[in-house]
Each structure stands twice: as C-alpha cells, then as structure tokens.
Amino acid sequence: MSPRNWTATADILRLFQSIGRASLLYDIQDSHSGNMAVKIKDEAGADQIVITAAGSQKGDLDPDQICFLSATETDYGYYKASSETDIHQRILNLPGAGASMHAHTKDLAIATLDDLPKPAQPPDFIPIDPLARHALGGRVPVDWFAVPSGSSEMAERIPQRLAGHAATTIQGHGTFARGRTLKEAFYLLCIANNAGQVVNDARRLKVDVEDLRAKIQADPRPYFAHVPDPYVVENDEACDFPEETEVLKEFRKAGVRIFESRLSPFHTGSMSVRGAGDLLYAPKAATPRDLPGPLRRRPLRPDAADSPELALHKTIYAETDFQTVMHCWLPEAEAHSYFRYPGEDRCADRIVPVDAEGGFMYLVIPGLPAHVDAETLIDNLHDYKAAVVRGGGVWAVGYQSLSEVLHHPSSVREICLYRIGAFERGLDLRKMEPKKAKKW
C-alpha cells in the first residue's frame, strides 16, 4: 500500500472547508459530526478517495484533517481517516458517484424516530414536499442498526441503499447521500432534512400526515405545483454581469441570507431583477458564503427552453411593473399550507399574523392551491407582495431591490413560526388573529 498523503490541495481544502461551515450553519452537523468524501484521480491516473479525518471539526477543517486514501483498499488500522471510510469507499464505487457525505440531519432523524421494539425494520420516510419528492425519488430508506456508526452491517447496507436512492437514513443517527459532486451530496442532505422539518411542522399543526402521504402516493398531481429545476453541477461560478458591481453585491448578500436564515435549502429557490430588455437571474438562490451559484442574464421575452421556474419570473414581469421576484422553499410555510382550523375540513386559504411585526406589515399572507394559475398568483402578489403556494413554495415581489423583496419570505417564516408555536401550545389562533384579517 502506497504512503498516505495527508496534505490537502488548495482547491479540495477550500471545498471541504466551505461545505463543512455551511453544514454547521444549516444545523445538519454538530461540532464534530459527519464526514465528507470525494473520488479523484491521482498523478498516476488511479482513483483516490479524499475524506475528512476522524473526529475533525467540519466547520473548522485544517489541512492535515483531509486524508487521501486508496479507492480500492481500506486501511482499517490507520487511525486518522473517518471510522466510516469503508462505507464511503463502497458508495464511491457506485456508478456515477463522485462524492458522498454523511450528516446528522436532525429534523429527518426526529421525523423517523419510533418507540417500537428493536431489532426492527422501519418504514421508508415518505416526504410531503415537492423538493424531496423530486430530488429524492419520493422516499428515503430508513434502517435501524444495533451499532449505528461504522459497523460492518452499515458498510453492507448503506451502499446497497444508495445504489437505488439518492439518500438513505439511519434511525436516530443521520443520513448518507451520494452525488456527482460534493455540493450535490450536500444539496441532497439539505433537501432530506428540509423534508423532515416539513413533516415535523405539519404534525405540530395536527395535519394528518399519514393520510396526506397516502393521497400523494395515490395521485401526486393535485398536491404539487411545477417540478423544481433539476440540480445542475456545472458552472456555479458563472456570472453574466460582472460589470454590474452593485447588483452583483446584492445578489451575493441575498443568497447568503436566504441560506443562513433557512428560507430555502442549499442551492434551491430563485431570484431575479428586471432590466430594460432582460432580467438578471439566480437559479440557485440559497448560496452560502464561498459556495455561489450561477448568475445569468436572460431576455425578458419567453423562450421555449425556459424552465417553469424561469418562465414564471418572466410572466410576472410581463404582467406587472415589479422590479424584483424571489421564490423560496420555506418548510414552515409548506407545512402551514396544509393547516386546517379545528372543526374545518378544508385547508386554510390565508395565513394570518398573530405576532406584532407580522401584523403591522401584512393583513394576511394568501395560501393558494398547488395548481393556481399565473393570473391569480399575480393578483395576490399585487395585493400582498407575498403568497404561499401549496406544493410550490413562497413567491414574493418588490419594486426596488433584492433587499426589499427578501424581507417578505423572511417575514413569512416568522409569521408561520409564531402560529405553529402558538397552536402547539393549545392556543386558539382565531382569538389571536386581528378582526380586520377577516375582511381581506
């Protein structure tokens, strides 16, 4: 076995450090948990695995905590590499897998806990949100292991799971994901954890999650709006308007805030600014520091090649005088879109603020069905500047800047948090809502 190289190259170190910090900010790691691995070619053209060291702080990685190993041999005796190196090695031998990542996805872990006797085979986790349905194939396998960290059973089962699924989770421990790149693996873990939060928040609102899952599995069409854009691994550094220094700064600031405030999972959502004959467009809105997404200039006129996401931005501009548009996938808002007041049999068509600032800024936030037509959505955006589409995220608009439009999804999140917390305490939301909200 050739000598190990424990000094990370500059590019790999920066990537691992950036994703390590982002995973800590997104709260899918604790100070020392999880591990990351990528497959590269060494100078001789042979496959190598680059993996984080055992016990390293992923949010504060040093160069000597990045380990370079053989892709075909596992050195069980070497103390420094992750204790789960053999699992990552087998994952990275799967076709198309260029990276793998393990994280402590707390919301998904909570959503998949049970108190049944062990050993047991837990059921798959079935998401109720569109991001996870499309990015994760509609389900995440769940396994229970007697030794849930680095065991031979895990090394056997997890790669088998990931051969047919983008992510798989271990009951009470965390989730593994494979991707073409490390950023894609991180994206999938964020999507998986977001799906767990949507389910947890829905349960806090007394939504019948099992009934909803059964209906979605029988026919998902009534429950989801347009299909989210597929994840693209190329050209994250691309920028079509480097000369627009002020607006470029605004895009970067807004992207960081969307991610750090958990308004949308990593590299999801979108935002745009209208120009004279074009729009400046970020198709991956949630971007941590040092992990940017592409910034594109696109014509305002419709194009047959436009994704549904971009097409809706263009439609909003064509029908209005708004200058900015933002779309985020807020888990609290997605869960709240299924809320029913006690004694009612229909989902509420509005989210009424019960907090002081929310009530000062908004009479209500409209709650719209999944397949709302563009005209109705735009009418609601005219009146309220933000709207929640069931199975379609939060859309918001502004007349001035990205900073202005960012305020809306940020406020919607807080409004939902207050309502969820109050309802969970057993408070009567009807009594807490301003009377004027009934006249929207």
**Residue 195: its H or E element:** helix 182-204
Pairing assessment for the beta strands 142-143 and 47-52 based on DSSP bridges? unpaired
**341 near 367, Cβ under 8 Å?**
no
Contacts of 164 (CB under 8 A, 6+ apart): none
For residues 142 and 35, what is the distance between their CA atoms, to the nearest angstrom? 19
For residue 10, the one-letter residue type is A
Q: Looking at the predicted structure, is the pLDDT value of residue 253 above 90? A: yes
Interior angle at CA 263, CA 295 and CA 29, nearest 5: 100
Residue 292 near residue 226 (C-beta atoms within 8 A): no
- By the 10 Å C-beta count (0-12 exposed, 13-18 middle, 19+ buried), 373 is classed as exposed
Residue 428 to residue 440: CA distance in whole angstroms? 20
In degrees, to the nearest 5, what angle opens at C-alpha 223 toward C-alphas 222 and 229? Answer: 110
Q: Do 190 and 108 touch, CB atoms closer than 8 A?
A: no
Task: Report, as an integer, the average pLDDT of 51-62.
Answer: 89
Tokens of 429: 């939301």
Enumerate domains of the chain plus CATH numbers. 10-206 (3.40.225.10), 245-439 (3.40.225.10)
Specify the pLDDT at position 289. Answer: 93
Residues 320-341, mean pLDDT to the nearest whole number:
98
What is the pLDDT, as a whole number, of residue 3?
36
d(CA 331, CA 391): 10
Angle subtended at Cα 270 by Cα 200 and Cα 305, rounded to the nearest 5 degrees: 120
Question: Structure tokens of 138?
Answer: 């509609």
Neighbours of 421 (CB within 10 A): 13
Average pLDDT on 20-47 reads: 92
* 293 vs 78 pLDDT, higher one: 293
- Does position 393 have pLDDT exceeding 90, yes or no? yes
Nearest residue to 355 (alpha-carbon basis) of 427, 424, 417: 417
How high is the pLDDT of residue 82?
Answer: 66
Nearest-angstrom CA–CA distance, 313 and 20: 32
**Confidence at residue 148, expressed as pLDDT on a 0 to 100 scale:** 83
Structure tokens at 352: 């009424």
Give the residue-averaged pLDDT of 399-415: 97
* pLDDT at 68 exceeding the cut of 90: no
pLDDT over 70 (residue 153): yes
Q: Quick check: helix, strand or coil at residue 125?
A: strand
pLDDT of 150 above 90: no
Q: What percent of the chain has pLDDT over 90?
A: 84
User: Over the stretch 157-177, which tens digit does the pLDDT of each residue have?
Assistant: 999 999 999 999 999 999 999
What is the SS3 assignment for 350-414? EECCCCHHHHHHCCCEEEECCCCCHHHHHHHHHHHCEEEECCCEEEEEECCCHHHHHHHHHHHHH
Is 45 a residue whose pLDDT tops 90? no
Does residue 294 register a pLDDT over 80?
Answer: yes
Query: What's the mean pLDDT in 204-215?
Result: 98
pLDDT for the residue 375: 97
User: What's this model's pTM, rounded to 2 decimal places?
Assistant: 0.95
Kind and range of the H or E run holding 168 = strand 167-170
- Helix (H/G/I), strand (E/B), else coil: 35: strand
Alpha-carbon Rg of the chain, whole angstroms?
A: 22
* Structure letter (DSSP) for residue 140: B
Task: Give the pLDDT confidence score for residue 151 in this predicted structure.
Answer: 85
pLDDT at 374 over 60: yes
- Under a CB-based contact definition with an 8 Å cutoff, are residues 432 and 422 in contact? yes
pLDDT band for position 430 (cuts 50, 70, 90): very high
What pLDDT is attached to residue 70?
77
Give residue 2's pLDDT band: very low, low, confident or very high (50, 70, 90): very low
Whether residue 372 contacts residue 167, with contact meaning beta carbons closer than 8 Å, is answered with no
Mean pLDDT of the chain: 93
Q: What is the mean pLDDT of residues 223-235?
A: 94
The residues facing 5 across adjacent strands are 68
- 83-97 confidence digits (pLDDT tens): 788 999 999 999 999
Give me the residue label for tokens 């004694």: 343
Write the pLDDT tens digit of every residue in 296-322.
999 999 999 999 999 999 999 999 999
Q: How far apart are CA 180 and CA 328, in angstroms?
A: 24
Task: Report in angstroms the alpha-carbon separations of 282 from 241, 286, 315, 388, 389.
Answer: 12, 9, 16, 20, 20
Q: pLDDT-based confidence at 74, cuts 50/70/90?
A: low
Residue 4 — pLDDT band, cuts 50, 70, 90? very low
| For the chain, percent of residues with pLDDT exceeding 70 | 95
For residue 105, what pLDDT is reported?
98
